[in-house]
Structure 1
Amino acid sequence: MQQHIDKWETEFSEVLDKFIETAELKPGMLMVVGCSTSEVAGERIGTAGTTEVAEMLFRQLDRLRRRTGVALAFQCCEHLNRALVIGRKDAEERKLDEVSVIPVRNAGGAMASYAFEKMPEAVVVESLKADAGIDIGDTLIGMHLKPVAVPVRVGRRTVGHANVVLAKTRPKLIGGSRAVYERNPENLSCR
């Protein structure tokens, strides 16, 4: 198994490096992570979650966090209504309401339960609106992204056996045919 995990870690590192280059992640942004460790290992979602895969993914995501300054939130599985594990400080800064539950492998998932154990002062919140996201294994993170979500394409679309979908968000474009969306001197002069 370790040989596979080493290969998957190389793949995931490649995905994250390209995501950092492409998504314009900045300190203070919030990134949601949805992950099925079962899917990474080639099994059906929710059937074979492993701490070993979760540990490898967490290690790489923590590297991304340190490199970019983004806060991470880990989505739990459907048995916890896709609640999220997040650091207490990050939850308080965003005025998120904590809920009473402890994610475990069979109710929360291997990734969320691992994150709950390893993050300093982890708490669980019911919902949030993230600036970016990564979905590993078709876990459906869209409910936790700000509108408007924009797909981010990188060369690799899988880690192990799992599909990987990346997204960033942008502010809504409002207005009609006379609206301007880019700041430049011509657009800012009053007439």
Structure 2
Amino acid sequence: MTDYSVDHDLKKQTVTIMRELAQAAGLDAGKVLVVGASTSEIIGERIGTAGALETAQQVLHAIAEVQAEFGFDVAYQCCEHLNRALVVERKLLDRLGLTEVAAVPVSNAGGSMATAAYRSFQDPCLAESISAHAGIDIGETMIGMHLRRVAVPFRPSIRYIGKARVTAAFTRPKLIGGERAVYRLEQADDSNACQ
């Protein structure tokens, strides 16, 4: 039988990874992080088979702690039964002009992480999609569809939360131009300007 009591290691792992990602990605006010998490995988079971709301709440609180420190917004991805829609605060939906979809996530249709987020948010709603600045995938839930282009893989110092493998990424603007393109102002040489 699985013990769902407060797991201080789980909190510590989540906070450590989140701080590292927030620093590497420059996540601050106005930026968005997408979170996908399988609580089944966190507790050592196969994805989608043993959702654990208590585990979701522990991860949610750890992420909220880092969110309060850095000021970014968070979108929690639902499972495929809700087409990977995202739980967001309505103010974020309105600010970004996202498309709202109608459902309330529950553990067996949306997943425990999305359910915990929906229940803890002040004014929750579901967005069909988002283009986030960074993302964390706990248990291989496939968040890539919700990241901006271009994704840069990020490897945190801790690679697991509980028993779930963690992958993460942040994004950067597309590099445009050809062989004469310059990407940092300090490298600019305007002596041979185009006419």
Q: Distance in 1 between matches of 2:169 and 2:189?
A: 29
- Give the TM-score normalised by the residue count of structure 2: 0.93
Partner secondary structure for residue 15 of structure 2: helix
Q: Name 1:145's counterpart in structure 2.
A: 147
Q: Name 1:38's counterpart in structure 2.
A: 40
Q: Does 1:129 align with 2:131?
A: yes
Q: Name 1:17's counterpart in structure 2.
A: 19
- Give the TM-score normalised by the residue count of structure 1: 0.95
169, 172, 175: which one aligns with 2:171 = 169
Once the 2 structures are TM-superposed, how far is the Cα of residue 186 of structure 1 from its aligned partner? 3.7
Cα contact 2:86–2:129 (8 A) shared by 1: yes
Letter in 1 for 2:36: G
Letter in 2 for 1:141: I
Count of residue correspondences: 191
Identity percentage of aligned residues: 45
The RMSD of aligned alpha carbons is 1.5
Once the 2 structures are TM-superposed, how far is the Cα of residue 20 of structure 1 from its aligned partner? 2.5
Residue-by-residue CA offset, 1:101-128 (whole Å, 9 max, x unaligned): 0000000000001100101100001111
Partner secondary structure for residue 167 of structure 2: strand
Partner secondary structure for residue 38 of structure 1: helix
Letter in 2 for 1:53: T
28, 49, 52: which one aligns with 1:50 = 52
Letter in 1 for 2:75: A
Cα 1:4/1:44, change in 2 over 3 Å: farther
Q: Distance in 2 between matches of 1:31 and 1:189?
A: 41
Q: Which moved more, 1:2-11 or 1:72-81?
A: 2-11
Once the 2 structures are TM-superposed, how far is the Cα of residue 188 of structure 1 from its aligned partner? 5.6
Letter in 2 for 1:132: A
Q: Distance in 1 between matches of 2:190 and 2:41?
A: 50
99, 105, 108: which one aligns with 2:107 = 105
Once the 2 structures are TM-superposed, how far is the Cα of residue 4 of structure 1 from its aligned partner? 7.2
Once the 2 structures are TM-superposed, how far is the Cα of residue 2 of structure 1 from its aligned partner? 4.8
List runs of 5+ in structure 2 lacking aligned partners.
none
Partner secondary structure for residue 46 of structure 1: coil
Once the 2 structures are TM-superposed, how far is the Cα of residue 22 of structure 1 from its aligned partner? 2.0
Residue-by-residue CA offset, 1:38-74 (whole Å, 9 max, x unaligned): 1000000011111111111110111121111111000
Q: Distance in 1 between matches of 2:117 and 2:89?
A: 10
Cα contact 2:89–2:125 (8 A) shared by 1: yes
Residue-by-residue CA offset, 1:152-174 (whole Å, 9 max, x unaligned): 12211111110111111000011
